[in-house]
Structure 1
Amino acid sequence: MEINFTSDASKYISELLKPDEILVLFYDTEGCGCAMNGVPVLNIEAGTMQNELVSIKTNEFRLFMFKKHTIFFDEQMRIHFENNRLKLSSNNQIFSSSLLLRRREDL
């Protein structure tokens, strides 16, 4: 799997990400009624958690994901920043037109 960040998305995220933190693309099913229904969320987390995750190839950041969540996404995706929102998409679909970016400690 590979995710490319546009320059605007990279700039926006860089302003929030500390050097020792990583990004985790998470498939959040909390309150969605079923494990197959969920929404993608981009978590900012301490880098110590990366042993439990699989690394995702990107053009910019250290990005990880739980292996069990990879089935919900395409092999090639991109994250844009437009209209003050992050957007996760591929050539096949839009996964989120308003991708939530949150710090893990905010949960």
Structure 2
Amino acid sequence: MEITITAAAANKIAEKIGEQSGYLKLKYDTEGCGCAVDGVAALWFVSEVEDTDIAIDTNNRTIYLEKSKMVFFDEKMTIDFSTSLNRFQLKSPQQILNGQLSFIIKENKD
């Protein structure tokens, strides 16, 4: 899998996380979607990664994905930031996977 982060997206990610330490995760979020195959891609900033997460090196920073959810993503993807929409976007050469990609900073479970 290959993920590219555009300069606009990298700048917005850095702005949102500031000095916090943690990990960027591309999540296939199924909460409230009805079943495990209905979901939506989202960017999560988490304090810890799970044992089942796979690290994907990008041109900017490592992104983690749940191994079991990789089937829902394309082989080549780009994370971009649209200034006109003020939203992140997840794209591939074949399609727009999420034109309004959420960015969520997850709180510690402690």
TM-score, scaled to structure 2: 0.87
Please report how far the alpha carbon of residue 50 of structure 1 lies from its aligned counterpart in structure 2 after TM superposition.
Answer: 5.2
d(CA) in 2 for partners of 1:87, 1:49: 22
C-alpha displacement of 1:19:
5.5
Is the 1:56–1:65 contact (alpha carbons within 8 Å) kept by the matching residues of 2?
Answer: yes
Task: Check if 1:15 corresponds to 2:15.
Answer: yes
Residue aligning to 1:44: 45
Q: Distance in 2 between matches of 1:6 and 1:90?
A: 13
Counterpart in the other structure of 1:93 = 95
Q: What are the superposed Cα offsets for residues 41-86 of structure 1, whole Å, 9 maximum, x if unpaired?
A: 110011x325441001211012101100100001110011112110
Cα 1:32–1:76 shift into 2, 3 Å: same
Structure-1-length-normalised TM-score:
0.90
Whether the 8 Å CA contact 1:57–1:63 is kept in 2: the answer is yes
2-structure distance, mates of 1:31, 1:38: 8
What residue number does 2:66 align with? 66
Number of equivalences:
106
Q: Is the Cα–Cα contact under 8 Å of residues 42 and 99 in structure 1 kept in the other structure?
A: yes
Residue 32 of structure 1 aligns with an amino acid whose one-letter code is: C
Percent sequence identity is: 38
Deviating above 4 A after TM superposition, structure 1's stretches of 4 or more consecutive aligned residues are: none
Unpaired runs of 5+ residues, structure 1, are none
Structure with the higher helix share, 1 or 2:
1
C-alpha RMSD of matched pairs (Å)? 1.8
